[in-house]
Amino acid sequence: MSAPRRLLTLWIATLAVVMAIVAIVAISGRLDRAQLAAVSGLEVVLMAVLVLPFAGVSAWRAANLFGPTDAGSAAWRMLAIGAIPLALGQVIGYLPSVLTLGEIEPVAVVCGQLLPASFRVLLSWALWRMLRAYRDTGIGFHGKTIDLVLMAVVFVITIVLFTRVDVLFSYWTANSELSETERLVMTSAQMVNFLLYPILLFLSLSMARFALQMGGGLVARAWGGVALYGLLQLVHVFVLAMYYKDAGPILSVAFDNFIVLAAFGALAMGPMFQVEAAEVRR
């Protein structure tokens, strides 16, 4: 295990322990709903600030391992660039849960959807381009039965998200007052993200399978990390869609935010494996 990956593992473990302590306090009933919402939002903000920069820096290092015109360079570079709006989107989008932002609050919650969507668009485009480059070489790709089952489940989950859009709207807006135009933009951005979740998962999972077929253990883990991020992100949203209306912010503090931490960690670990693969070849 490389030094950066050891550091990130320790960092994530420390965050998980702190979050577990907070969850125990929350379950004891010492915090009211408003305090729970603030704690939940603060946890996501801290995770974005403390974990996602690892993804950006490592992805940039991974991109520099390839030639400037190589599809692999573009894919990792898009992840590095996209990590910036992803982190900003998490911070800006969850700040209304923690602070009173006044007139800019509606803009913040809308940006909380639009900025992560831009990350998913960038990475999906880069992955599609890389997959096309692989196919142009004549390398065959054969998915496994588990892949088909997983994508079928993801398809069902995506349909469920569209039927529970009002629950997720309530979660992401943090009860902010939005105009009709802002509500329309927010809802549209949500639906765009719902569509991007399965697309990103399919493309990153396909990349992991391609790498595995070519015998690339660490490279397969690299893209597997990105695929795991896509899967965990979808699970995170599904849990909220199904249970947030009844459970409220205690759901996030006691359970769901741990899924978010795992998703961010998987995204950060992915490019680290790519860098390690290059070091092993040397």
Domain ranges of the chain: 3-281
Give the model's confidence band at 15: pLDDT under 50 very low, under 70 low, under 90 confident, else very high: very high
pTM: 0.88
Q: List the Cα angle 172/175/179 in 5-degree steps.
A: 95
Give the HSE-up count for residue 134: Cα atoms under 13 Å, Cβ half-sphere. 21
Q: Give per-residue pLDDT as tens, 180-208.
A: 888 888 888 888 989 998 888 888 878 77
| 73-76 long-range Cβ contacts below 8 angstroms, 24+ apart | 74/126, 74/129, 74/130, 75/123, 75/126, 75/127, 75/129, 75/130, 75/207, 76/271, 76/274
Which of the pair, 221 or 101, is modelled with greater confidence?
221
pLDDT at 272 over 60: yes
Q: Which of 15-24, 137-146, 213-222 tops mean pLDDT?
A: 15-24
Please give the residue that has the higher pLDDT: either 88 or 228. Answer: 88
pLDDT in tens, 28-69: 888 888 888 889 999 999 999 999 999 999 999 988 888 777
CA separation (Å) from 81 to 56, 122, 217? Answer: 7, 9, 25
